[in-house]
Structure 1
Amino acid sequence: MQKNSKIYIAGHRGMVGSSLLRNLEAKGFTNLALRTSSELDLRNTAAVAEFFEKEKPEYVFLAAAKVGGIMANNTYRADFLYENLMIQNNVIHQSYLSGVQKLLFLGSSCIYPKMAPQPLKEDYLLTGTLEPTNEPYAIAKIAGIKMCDAYRSQYNCNFISAMPTNLYGPNDNYDLNNSHVLPAMLRKFHEAKNDNNRDVELWGSGTPLREFLHTDDLAEACVFLMENFNDYGQINLGIGEDLSIKELAELIQKITGHEGNIIWDSSKPDGTPRKLMDVSKINDMGWKAKISLEEGITKVYQDKFLV
């Protein structure tokens, strides 16, 4: 990518897209094509076709998606499948039709089988059944990977796929019904601290293991891949370390200064037992995450709740 290359970030207002925008602007990229969801509905095929015909971006970061935590994924199963398929189908196909030089499609670690060996290697895709609670979202993301590969095979498009682990960072979603575990915990502990350190109730047993990557690290990895990766299949993005949900809760309790009790509701689902990414492929290419979990959460907490 040249500094004046026209770059389209699909989803630039979201947590991932906004990190990409900050990263590219900091690096001196100035020719950015941006549309909010109200300006361009990526589920609308005709609207997306008109946008690509008019703007003719050279590079596309496909970070737009309908996302949420366990409850949202399990409740709005049809919406998660339909909307994500429509978004990626439209953007990937129109990128091909308008001659985009390179596209990066972003997925999620939930594409891997629920009981896959740990850490999760890229080769484990489609080797077993998925976690039932987020299967529709995972199916959509798997379709996106295969779509990029198919367009590469049939049309020689330079479309690549990257699968991040669990993400957190600025512009996260803190809605307790639809958010992921880390931002939901931050909000719960913060509000409990401000309410006389009342007890915090959390879902599940606390035993599942999870890995978390700051979106600023993710954005750095995406730009690195846009400049260095040109191949079939997905590449994993993560920090290469995990911790239990119980350890995460205790870390967030420490960062927020909450002094009450933590109560685990074991009647609620745990989700996948473990989701640690094997990131040796991108590490071997020369990229590694830099932001530690405690450092990253502390910064997010200060910026969101202590301003």
Structure 2
Amino acid sequence: MSKILVTGGCGMIGSNLVKRLVKEGHDVSIIDNLWRGKLEYLNDESGKPVIDIDSRFFNIDLSDGHADIDKIVNDNEYVIHLADIVAGIDYVFGNQGGLFRQNNLINTNLFASVRRAGKERIKGLIYVGTACSYPLTRQNSLDVVPLREDELFPALPESAYGWSKLMGQLEIGYLEKETGIPCCTLQFHNVYGSPCDFGERSQVIPALIRKAINYPNEEFIVWGSGKQGRAFLHVNDVVEALVRALDKGWGHGWIQIGPSVCTSIAEIAETVVKISGKDIKPFFDTTKPEGDKARSADYSKAKEILGWEPSVSLEDGLRQQYKWVENEIAKSNKQ
């Protein structure tokens, strides 16, 4: 058993990871300001939280540099840093300055506490990066060649979000060299699954699922041309990568986590419509931003070091998420 701190532990990735770690016998603590995460996401099938909320959950905004962060970090052996500010593409491109500043503060405040704790206390730090940090020049064509880790520099992310996450990767690299604390950076591609935010700040898959469920009361509008594509990654595969990184990920720099297949947003929309069973014709709003053209992952490093590769098929994952969002909307309508 290890004592593990998960920042952002009430979000989609964090809540699933916490449940897995608790199931494996670890003593887990959480820092989360509940900007997008929810405490109810930590509940097991009986409706009870999998950790002691009173003693193991800390409602803290890491960007504020809260005085209790040092104490919480010192009480743990491993830190898995998931917390950041991110939402749908409209939010990301509409709040770039504030998002950049907050993510840098979140990272540097947490890393400063880890530094102060030192390698005598902290056995390992895992940081979660993003494929958005890769150069725009490698993501501005529909002719997709899977991204490799050695292409991260020279840096040219498209968004402030990608830049902020890249700054975190640089800082954790300096921290590892200067303190000797084992570190690992996993760069995630586009993660989907449940539980999730499916409201106005949601990302593309939960937004399309919500629109399909609410149709015809809500229009089924797809942002952009639909030609843009991403390497979609189910949250279960993400959790598997994180658990394996705790065992095997130390000292290997950054490791990309995502499938080698690029799926267009139009294909996602078509699959969601198919799952809905409704007669829906998607409307593609080309006045809306669509971000990078396309990307996918060369995950050979993850396979070699972690023994990891994607296991959840896209349609199976979309069906699972559709059912979850449908149930949540039904519960909301009854209230």
Per the normalisation by structure 1, the TM-score is 0.91
What does 1:24-103 align with in structure 2 at a 5 Å threshold?
A: 24-29=21-26, 31-37=27-33, 39-52=59-72, 55-99=74-118, 100-103=122-125
Select which of 322, 329, 332 maps to 1:301.
322
Listed one character per residue, the Cα deviations across residues 80-123 of structure 1 (whole Å, up to 9, x for unaligned) are 11111111111112112113110100011100011217211001
- 2:270 is paired with a residue whose SS is helix
Select which of 121, 132, 135 maps to 1:110.
132
**Is this contact kept in 1: 2:303–2:309, CA < 8 A?**
yes
Deviates more, 1:257-266 or 1:32-41: 32-41
- 2:136 is paired with a residue whose SS is coil
Query: In structure 1, what is the Cα distance between the partners aligned to 2:325 and 2:193?
Result: 10
Would the alpha carbon gap of residues 151 and 50 (structure 1) be closer, same or farther in structure 2, given more than 3 Å must change? closer
Select which of 308, 318, 326 maps to 1:287.
308
Listed one character per residue, the Cα deviations across residues 154-180 of structure 1 (whole Å, up to 9, x for unaligned) are 22121211111101111211123x221
1:269 Cα deviation (Å)? Answer: 2.2
Query: In structure 2, what is the Cα distance between the partners aligned to 1:205 and 1:148?
Result: 37
- 1:275 is paired with a residue whose SS is coil
Query: For this pair of structures, how many residues does the alignment match?
Result: 295
**Is this contact kept in 1: 2:257–2:299, CA < 8 A?**
yes
Structure 2: gaps of 5 or more residues: 35-58, 140-144, 329-335
What does 1:165-184 align with in structure 2 at a 5 Å threshold?
A: 165-176=189-200, 178-184=201-207
Would the alpha carbon gap of residues 129 and 36 (structure 1) be closer, same or farther in structure 2, given more than 3 Å must change? closer
1:128 Cα deviation (Å)? Answer: 4.8
Measured on the aligned residues, the alpha-carbon RMSD in Å equals: 1.8
Per the normalisation by structure 2, the TM-score is 0.83
What does 1:223-262 align with in structure 2 at a 5 Å threshold?
A: 223-262=243-282
1:56 Cα deviation (Å)? Answer: 2.1
Q: 1:269 aligns to what?
A: 289
1:47 Cα deviation (Å)? Answer: 2.5
Aligned residue identity for 1:188? K
Aligned residue identity for 1:106? V
How many percent of aligned residue pairs carry the same amino acid? 29
Listed one character per residue, the Cα deviations across residues 20-69 of structure 1 (whole Å, up to 9, x for unaligned) are 1121122222x11224427222112242544336x521001101111112
**Is this contact kept in 2: 1:68–1:180, CA < 8 A?**
yes
Q: 2:162 aligns to what?
A: 138
- 2:272 is paired with a residue whose SS is helix
> Bigger relative contact order, structure 1 or 2, given CA contacts below 8 A and separation 6+?
1
Aligned residue identity for 2:21? L
Aligned residue identity for 2:211? K
Alignment of 1:125 onto 2:152: yes
Runs of 4+ that moved beyond 4 A: none
